[in-house]
Structure 1
Amino acid sequence: MVVSRRVHRRLVLRRKFQVLRALTCSKSVRKSNIIMDAFNYIKQLKLMIEAMKKQYANLINKVPKEVKVEKIENGFLVRVTSEKGKDILVSVLEVFEEMGLNVVHARVSCTHSFCMEAIIETDQVETLEVKEVTQAISKALEKKIGVRAAPFDTM
């Protein structure tokens, strides 16, 4: 009974080393070398993960900062993209309120960056220009995150 347990354990351990050898593409047969190859393989994987995290962080930081405003029937379509910051949505909505604009529909996402698309209406469509709305939103973004938003071509 004791001998069969030892043999069974030895077989299980041998299978595990074979799997480990296959995973790490180790050419060695010795257990100590297989373990060292596995250790080096894990180290390489950790380095690859760190490189991917840095690359991901760089991509997130390169989110374009832009404000796009288009004139529609009796209001404007506003698209804002910028990096995440505290109370950005609040400051943009305050700008709308100060200008006498009413938000009819809004879609906001703050997963990786701040993205907002809103349809706003006003009674002063003829007097209010796209450029004025764009500049007001850009100033609000500058105050909150300290980054100048690139105005997008207006239609």
Structure 2
Amino acid sequence: MACKVQKRVSLRRRLHILRFLTNSNYNKLKVALENVKREYENLIATRRDYIRLLDNNVNDNKDVKIVKISEGTFMVKVTCEKGGGKLVAILEAFEEICVNVEEAKVSCENEFSMEAIIVSEDQSLDVTYVTEVILKAIEK
């Protein structure tokens, strides 16, 4: 009889120890899982912010450089995001300010880019005015 009682006490002790170890490991795993979830959510938020910043930089990537070669002749370099009929809008803007395109190179691989030499009929045309006209054409 004493042997059965000792076995029962021994089993209860082992069971108690197993429950304690299981619960402590479970709690540790639960805390670790919560930390991993929190870190994952932070990484997702950081990724979302990074993508938003990249999109803003891509959308604001309008570059218009105009160099006056001689009186009434300009070198125009335009780079911006592609799409939306940029070339047509720029050519219409050139018509509005009465300039002729002597030579042009256009590319639309990753972005819209154009290099052109334009000649103005009006000798008083200045760089800032041409820049404003082209920027307005790009934004259409």
TM range (shorter): 0.5 to 0.7
Secondary structure of 1:119's counterpart equals: strand
Tell me whether 1:131 sits opposite 2:96 in the alignment: no
Please list the CA deviations of residues 44-89 of structure 1 after superposition, one character each: whole Å capped at 9, or x if unmatched: xxxxxxxxxxx9xx59x73831111111124110000000112100
Alignment of structure 1 residues 30-69 onto 2, 5 Å: 62=58, 64-69=61-66
Q: Which has the larger radius of gyration?
A: 2
Deviant stretches of 4+, over 6 Å: none
User: Residue 5 of structure 1 aligns with which residue?
Assistant: none
Please list the CA deviations of residues 17-51 of structure 1 after superposition, one character each: whole Å capped at 9, or x if unmatched: xxxxxxxxxxxxxxxxxxxxxxxxxxxxxxxxxxx
Secondary structure of 1:68's counterpart equals: strand
TM-score, structure 1 as length reference: 0.51
Once residues 124 and 72 of structure 1 are traced to their aligned partners in structure 2, the CA distance between those partners, rounded to angstroms, is 15
Once residues 138 and 75 of structure 1 are traced to their aligned partners in structure 2, the CA distance between those partners, rounded to angstroms, is 19
Unmatched segments (≥5 aa) in structure 1 = 1-54, 144-155
Once residues 75 and 67 of structure 1 are traced to their aligned partners in structure 2, the CA distance between those partners, rounded to angstroms, is 16
Q: Of Structure 1 and Structure 2, which has the larger fraction of its residues in helix? A: 2
Equivalent residue for 1:86, pick from 80, 84, 87: 84
The code of the aligned residue for 2:112 comes to: F
User: Residue 119 of structure 2 aligns with which residue?
Assistant: 121
Unmatched segments (≥5 aa) in structure 2 = 1-50
RMSD: 2.3
TM-score, structure 2 as length reference: 0.56
Once residues 123 and 141 of structure 1 are traced to their aligned partners in structure 2, the CA distance between those partners, rounded to angstroms, is 23
User: Residue 110 of structure 1 aligns with which residue?
Assistant: 108
